[in-house]
Chains A and B, each alone.
Chain A
């Protein structure tokens, strides 16, 4: 069974204080690892997809990296508007049938950035 564990559960930062969020995963044949941002009362917003170990992607103050067992979401000089829940999800390789492409999500990290 695929498993995704995110840490910490909650993270409080001061504006400008850089940090990292962790996503540890176990999956049979990783096809993709996804990062989403979710604001309260809204659906998740797509951030990144990582496909293979060693891959990195950046978007504004966010940088996602991937190893064979975990992914990190680095936040550089965060601002209050970066406050949200960050979700990590894995997608396994083709398993056949009509469940192709489904994601397994972690519990999320609630990030709060204080001005």
Chain B
């Protein structure tokens, strides 16, 4: 149980184009989803928190207009990287939150490797 998928797993795009990444909770409904970014040999950095039907809450330093998040249903959140540039190349990981016993537990997707040329 508690499976989270991401699509695509890997994407290469040209500078200036936009890329959409989907995150789905396959076997549970998640009121909250999170988007992270991970650079090589570094830990996960939270980018934003997404609640179904609400505007996302972005962490300090994350550009809202560049990283558009939509959480249209209890099982789907999307991250769109607009006008991507080489510095946006990274590993993007989503998580979906499931209440277990005392608190919410985040289950992570497999990640999306974005390369901007």
Contacts and interface: CB of A to CB of B under 8 A. Distances in A.
Interface in B64-103: 91, 93, 95, 97, 100-103
Nearest to B32: A101
Interface of A: 31-32, 34, 36, 41-46, 49, 51, 87, 91, 97-103, 105-108
B109 A101 contact: no
Interface in B21-49: 32, 34, 42-44, 46, 49
A31 B103 contact: yes
Interface residues of B, number: 31
A101 B110 contact: no
A50 to B, nearest CB: 10
Nearest to B46: A102
B105 A46 contact: yes
A11 to B, nearest CB: 15
Contacts of A106: 43
Contact of A41 (B42, B97, B106, B113): B113
Contact of B44 (A41, A87, A91, A97): A87
Instruction: Enumerate the 6 nearest inter-chain pairs by beta-carbon distance, A residue then B residue, closest first.
Output: A43-B108, A101-B104, A98-B57, A32-B103, A105-B43, A44-B108
Given A43-B108, A49-B103, A87-B43, 12 more contacts: A41-B91, A42-B110, A42-B111, A43-B110, A49-B101, A51-B101, A87-B44, A98-B57, A99-B57, A101-B32, A101-B49, A103-B34
